[in-house]
Structure 1
Amino acid sequence: MKIQLALDRMNMGEAIEMARTVESSIDWIEVGTSLIKEFGTNSIKEMRKHFPDKKIVADMKTMDNAAYEMDLCFQGGADVATVMGAASDVTIQKCLEKALEYNGKIMIDLLNVSDSRLEQLRIYNQAIFCEHVSKDSQEIADHAMIHMRNHAGSMSAAAGGITLSSLPVMIRRGVDVLIIGSAITKAKNPAEAARLFNETMNGEKGVKKV
């Protein structure tokens, strides 16, 4: 089980400093959609340069133009790039092909993806499937719970408002990647918050993190 730090709504200096502050307690670093939109794919290159030993996730949320956008992500140093589950099959397939070309991975964002569409997506079992409560939904319902569906045979991820109190539920549901943003980045002491997430996760699993 991995902790993915989501970095959004900050400048690049702040993002790099935040990742540095919590580096020892997290596994993957997500270059958030807002960073990519504001600072371009150079934000991916910057994060790779500063954290050569971490997995870098480019939250591109690709909907179209897959080959071009995946080239930008993976050439920039990403290990994982995101594509929306609502995108066409041809787009998702092209993302997967590009990921294989660069020895990377695709994360399919299941935001607003119906159960019937999810069934169609199961053929892409090399991808990571991410259940996602949107930021806008979180602002309307402070305690919006992530609905984890069955992703047997594929890696699973969860994103959207995960807190220390909801963490044990996510762990018991067998999520492979926990994507945590504001609960760490907006904490009074981000390093301490990240450490508590790490320790709680390991305590629930009963294994030592490597």
Structure 2
Amino acid sequence: MKIQLALDRLKIAEAIDLAKKVEDSVDWIEVGTSLIKEFGVTSIKELKNAFPTKTIVADVKTNDNARYEFEMCFEAGADVATVMGVSPLVTIDICMEVAAHYNKKVMIDLLNTSEQQKLELQKYKDAIFCLHVSKDQQEEAGMANRGTADNKFSVGLQIAAAGGITLESLEQLKATVNPEVVIVGGAITKAGNPSEAAFQFKQKIAEIEGK
């Protein structure tokens, strides 16, 4: 399991500084939606410039205007960009087309998608699918657990998991969803010692996968 560090609710310089502290323990660096909304594609450019060898994920959460937004993300240096699974399929088609042109990847965020939508989305074999428990669900409703329907969805697809992931939840996550990527935000970024927290995630994953 790769670790994707989610950077949100920060200034660009703060995000870079924090990522430098943990870069040896994480694989992918996510330019969070709040960073992109506040600072635009400059945030993507600066994170890619600071970490040229890391996979940079632009969590732009595209719903429409796909060609413009995805070209903008990839031109700025993103390696992966996100689109919402509830978008019209034509929007996701465009995202896949643009990503193929740039030799980049699409992550489809499954937040609030229906079971029927998930079935329709499975045709995008080259995409990464993100099983996502939202920030609002975590903070307001305490819903950090993923349902069995999501677990079934993961078979044979590239899966990322996001939302309230902790050291303690990694083993169950591996057993049920078996994601290729775990997206970790607050458990690292809000830790007293982010470097140590990230290292613990890396070690825990190595331990789980070594069993």
Shorter chain as normaliser: what TM range? over 0.9
Moved over 4 A (4+): none
| Corresponding residue of 2:198 | 194
Q: Which amino acid aligns with 1:49?
A: N
| Corresponding residue of 1:69 | 69
| Corresponding residue of 1:162 | 165
Shift of 1:89: 0.4
**Whole-Å separation in 2 of the counterparts to 1:16 and 1:172:** 33
Shift of 1:143: 5.3
Q: Secondary structure at the match of 2:159?
A: strand
Shift of 1:141: 3.2
Q: Secondary structure at the match of 2:129?
A: strand
| Corresponding residue of 1:153 | 156
**Whole-Å separation in 1 of the counterparts to 2:186 and 2:107:** 21
| Corresponding residue of 1:106 | 106
**Whole-Å separation in 2 of the counterparts to 1:102 and 1:133:** 29
1:1-210 aligned at under 5 Å gives the runs 1-142=1-142, 144-147=144-147, 148-149=150-151, 150-173=153-176, 174-206=178-210
Aligned residues of 2:99 and 2:105 also touching (Cα < 8 A): yes
Shift of 1:100: 0.3
**Whole-Å separation in 2 of the counterparts to 1:202 and 1:187:** 21
Shift of 1:125: 1.2
Aligned residues of 1:134 and 1:160 also touching (Cα < 8 A): yes
Q: Secondary structure at the match of 1:56?
A: strand
Q: Secondary structure at the match of 1:129?
A: strand
**Whole-Å separation in 1 of the counterparts to 2:111 and 2:97:** 22
Percent of residue pairs bearing the same amino acid type: 56
Shift of 1:140: 1.9
Q: Which amino acid aligns with 1:137?
A: Q
**Whole-Å separation in 2 of the counterparts to 1:49 and 1:146:** 35
Shift of 1:142: 3.3
Q: TM-score, normalised by structure 2?
A: 0.96
> RMSD of the TM alignment (CA)?
1.1
Q: Secondary structure at the match of 1:4?
A: strand
Aligned residues: 207
**Whole-Å separation in 1 of the counterparts to 2:77 and 2:59:** 13
**Whole-Å separation in 2 of the counterparts to 1:40 and 1:91:** 21
Structure 1 gap ranges (5+): none
**Whole-Å separation in 1 of the counterparts to 2:81 and 2:179:** 18
**Whole-Å separation in 1 of the counterparts to 2:179 and 2:12:** 29
Q: Deviations over 1:114-162 (max 9, x none)?
A: 1111001111111000010100000123352123332223200100000
Q: Which amino acid aligns with 2:167?
A: L
Q: TM-score, normalised by structure 1?
A: 0.96
Structure 2 gap ranges (5+): none
